[in-house]
Amino acid sequence: MHWTAIGTLSDIPQRGARCIETPEGKIAVFRTGDNSVFAIDDHCPHKGGPLSQGIVHGASVTCPLHNWVISLETGKALGADEGCVRTIPVKVEDGKLYVALNLNAERAA
């Protein structure tokens, strides 16, 4: 894994998200009301809706297409029999945001 700078914490509004393009695909980076930061793949496991455009509540996001609720901590669909998105390690250092990307995916791009 390689830590890649993606911006600053202030780039993401509280209870909001931003989508970033990476060699691994689109990643949604979320900031909760208590300033926790999470990163997951930007597609709902149900119908592929853009999770970065969903509503953030607590440590979850509701898909804008069909209201599936996804845990930002685990990537699992809550209240559904199945469904999960990949979580991506994210960290904040001195106000700067970083995501951990797979070096092999970066080299393949």
Which residue shows structure tokens 């911006």? 7
Which residue shows structure tokens 């914490």? 9
Q: Does domain 2-108 have CATH number 3.40.50.1110?
A: no
Look up the pTM and report it.
0.90
Higher pLDDT: 62 or 79? It is: 62
**Type of residue at 25:** G
Reported as a single tens digit per residue, the pLDDT across 17-69 is: 999 999 889 999 999 999 999 999 999 999 999 999 999 999 999 999 999 99
User: How far is Cα 50 from Cα 65, in angstroms, rounded to an integer?
Assistant: 8
Tell me the CA distances in angstroms from 9 to 29, 34, 36, 43, 44, one per residue in order. Answer: 10, 12, 10, 22, 24
Q: What is the mean pLDDT of the chain?
A: 92
**What is the structure's pLDDT at 80?**
76
φ and ψ of 60, to 5 deg: -135, 165
